[in-house]
Amino acid sequence: MLNKKYHLVRSIFFNFGNQYLGIRQMKTLQFREALREAMTEEMQSDDRVFLMGEEVAEYNGAYKVSQGMLEEFGPDRVIDTPIAELGFAGIGVGAAMNGLRPIIEFMTFNFSLVAIDQVINSAAKMLSMSGGQFGAPMVFRGPTASAGQLGAQHSQAFDNWYANTPGLKVIVPSNPADAKGLLKSAIRDDDPVIFMESEQMYGDKGEVPEGEYVIPIGSAKVVKQGTDVTLVSFGKIMKVAITAVEELAKEGINAELIDLRTIRPIDYATVIESMKKTNRMVILEEAWPLGNISTDLTYTVQRNAFDYLDAPIRRINTKDTPLAYAPTLVEAWLPNVKDVVEAVKGAMYVK
């Protein structure tokens, strides 16, 4: 079993060495493959790590994220569970308190509501309630938000719900490279981490660095430099943001694009510094309008950098209703490229 100091030294050596020498090799992976690599590498190097959830073993995962892992690690470390989220989430918390590092997979975070007592009242609070005697170093992962015609009970974004909870860290990656680097960091972290994906991203392909690498939790990424407006987003809806930035460029608007990646903790510094440069901000989030991440960002930016704003911050969210099943209503409910372009132009007072 490799200890944490070895992990840290190894990560620093590889990351610094590859960046300094410029020899980082890349490969193309699907989002699901990047997650699988992260879990597999961490399970190979640390025998305290195990995966547990519905259909993760014999069926190779509901979305084939854990394909082949049962064969490699056996049924003691890749564990199928009954349809009982409260039960296996509680088992995971107890295992984490006793020195293991479980990865608990929810088939969807909509089903995590059944287990929310264990997540919020046990995992998140254990270190505080025990006076530092017991922690819960574990990862709860699975898909969040809408994924097409799945109906109202399977199409909800609970990212901001969990980000509202002290004691949890919350990660929502938008691409395979970030997914792998952040999941490895999450598995090694000593706090409970909520790691949120999307059914509509598992087949997405992207370049992922070869070899060992991790991405620090709490660090946003400037995806594109710009001068006219700061556009902030995270998760699956980043696809809309990227396309919107391309459309804006055709009209001569140079938008800076930031991917938060982590929404607890939030990298406020990167966002604020960007806004100080562009003097305008638009936030795109797949969530209901009330009490979400974009609400918090809007307050924090204006509270700390109000004098730099040349226009009110604009937020783009989903419609304030449950998501319907009809495809026309799904389309109308979700933010789209046109919404983003119009919001940016409004912030710039451009018709």
Q: Which residues are catalytic?
A: 85, 154
CA atoms within 13 A on the CB side of 344: 29
Element (H, E) at 144: none
Instruction: Specify the amino acid at residue 120.
Output: I
Closest by alpha carbon to 230, among 209, 200, 190, 258?
A: 258
For residues 139 and 195, the answer to whether their CB atoms sit within 8 Å is yes
Closest by alpha carbon to 82, among 102, 37, 52?
A: 52
**Whole-angstrom Cα distance, residue 157 to residue 143?**
9
For residues 167 and 142, the answer to whether their CB atoms sit within 8 Å is no
Q: Is the peptide bond before 265 cis (omega within 30 degrees of 0)?
A: yes
151-154: long-range contacts, CB 8 A cutoff, minimum separation 24: 151/323, 151/325, 152/322, 152/323, 152/324, 152/325, 153/110, 154/108, 154/110
What single DSSP character describes residue 165? S
Element (H, E) at 52: strand 49-53
Outline where 251-290 has alpha helix (H).
268-278
Q: Which residues pair with 52 in a beta bridge?
A: 79, 104
Tokens 């119009």 found at:
342
**Residue 327 token pair:** 């495809």
Q: At what angle do helices 238-250 and 337-347 cross, to 10 degrees?
A: 60
* First-to-last C-alpha distance (Å) of the chain: 61
